[in-house]
Amino acid sequence: MGGVSPLPPRRPPLNRIRQQLRAARRALGERAKRQQSKALVRRLVRLLRVKRARQIALYWPADGEIDPRGLMTPLAARGARFYLPVLHPLKRRPRQGALWFARYRAGERLRPNRFGIPEPTGRGRHLIRVRCLDLIILPLVGFDAQRYRLGMGGGFYDRTLALRRRHPSWRRPWLIGVAHECQRLDRIEPRPWDIRLDAVVTESRLY
C-alpha cells in the first residue's frame, strides 16, 4: 500500500449524534441534573443581559434537559415576565413548524403538546411577538464553542428566529442556549438556516 492518504474520518449522521447526546443527558441521574440546573441558573442570573430582561422565554424541561425554571423566582422579583414555547397550530406554510410564545405564570395549568411537552392552553392565553422578547433561553441537544446549536431536529427555533438572519443588527431577543457540559461537540457544521446563539451557558462555563 502506501502513498494513498487515508480518507478523513466520516462523521456519524446527525441523527445518531442527537441520539447519543440525548442518551448521555438522560443518563446523568436526577441528583446531578438538579445540581447542574441550579449551578447554571446561578450563572445566568449574574449576566447583565439576563438581569435587565423583562420579557423572557423559557422552556418546560423534558428528556433530561437543564431545568431553567429556577430563574423565575429571582427574576420575577426584578419585574420579569415569562413565556413558554407553543407549537404553531397551522399545518400550512409559512408558519408551520414555527413556535409561538405564550405568557406563563408559576403554577398555571398547562397541557401536553404532541411531543408530550406541557404548554399554555386556552383562548385566554397571552401571546407575545418574538421581537418583543428581550431574551430567549433555548433548549439544545448539542452545541459547540462557536455557539452553534443542534436541536431536537424539528427546526422549530430556527424557523421562529429566521427573521434574525435577515436582520443581523437586531439586538432583540438575546439568545442564550443552556446545556450540560456533556452536550458539547467539537464542531457543528452550520447549515444555512442555523442560528448562531449569543451565548451558551453550562453548569461550569460560558461560551
Binding site for ligand FFO (CB under 6 A): 59-62, 65, 85, 99, 115, 117, 139, 151-152, 154, 156-157
Choosing among ligand FFO, ligand ATP, none, which partner's interface includes residue 115 (Cβ < 5 to 8 Å by kind)? Answer: ligand FFO
Choosing among ligand FFO, ligand ATP, none, which partner's interface includes residue 59 (Cβ < 5 to 8 Å by kind)? Answer: ligand FFO
**Feature table: binding site for ATP:** 149-157
Q: Which residues bind ligand ATP (CB under 6 A)?
A: 150-159, 162, 191, 193-194
User: Measured from the CB of residue 112, what is the shortest distance to ligand ATP in angstroms?
Assistant: 17
User: Measured from the CB of residue 192, what is the shortest distance to ligand ATP in angstroms?
Assistant: 9
Choosing among ligand ATP, ligand FFO, none, which partner's interface includes residue 51 (Cβ < 5 to 8 Å by kind)? Answer: none
Cβ burial of 21 (10 Å; 0-12, 13-18, 19+) is buried
SS3 51: helix
Q: Please list the residues that pair with 139 across neighbouring strands.
A: 178
Phi and psi based region of residue 187 (left: phi greater than 0; alpha: psi -120 to 50; beta: remaining): beta
Report DSSP letters for 112-139, one per residue.
E-TTS-EEE-STTPPEE-GGG-SEEEEE
**Feature table: binding site for substrate:** 65
CA-based torsion, 127, 131, 135, 140: positive or negative: positive
Q: Please list the residues that pair with 149 across neighbouring strands.
A: 143
User: Measured from the CB of residue 5, what is the shortest distance to ligand FFO in angstroms?
Assistant: 37
**Feature table: binding site:** 65, 149-157
CA distance 138 to 149: 9
User: Measured from the CB of residue 27, what is the shortest distance to ligand ATP in angstroms?
Assistant: 20
Choosing among ligand FFO, ligand ATP, none, which partner's interface includes residue 158 (Cβ < 5 to 8 Å by kind)? Answer: ligand ATP
Which residues make Cβ contacts (< 8 Å) with residue 62, sequence separation at least 6? Answer: 115, 116, 117
Closest to ligand FFO by CB, 67 vs 134, is: 67
Closest to ligand FFO by CB, 53 vs 99, is: 99
User: Measured from the CB of residue 79, what is the shortest distance to ligand FFO in angstroms?
Assistant: 25
Choosing among ligand ATP, ligand FFO, none, which partner's interface includes residue 159 (Cβ < 5 to 8 Å by kind)? Answer: ligand ATP
Scan for cell 451558551, then name that residue: 200
8 Å CB contact between 45 and 51: yes
Which residues make Cβ contacts (< 8 Å) with residue 169, sequence separation at least 6? Answer: none
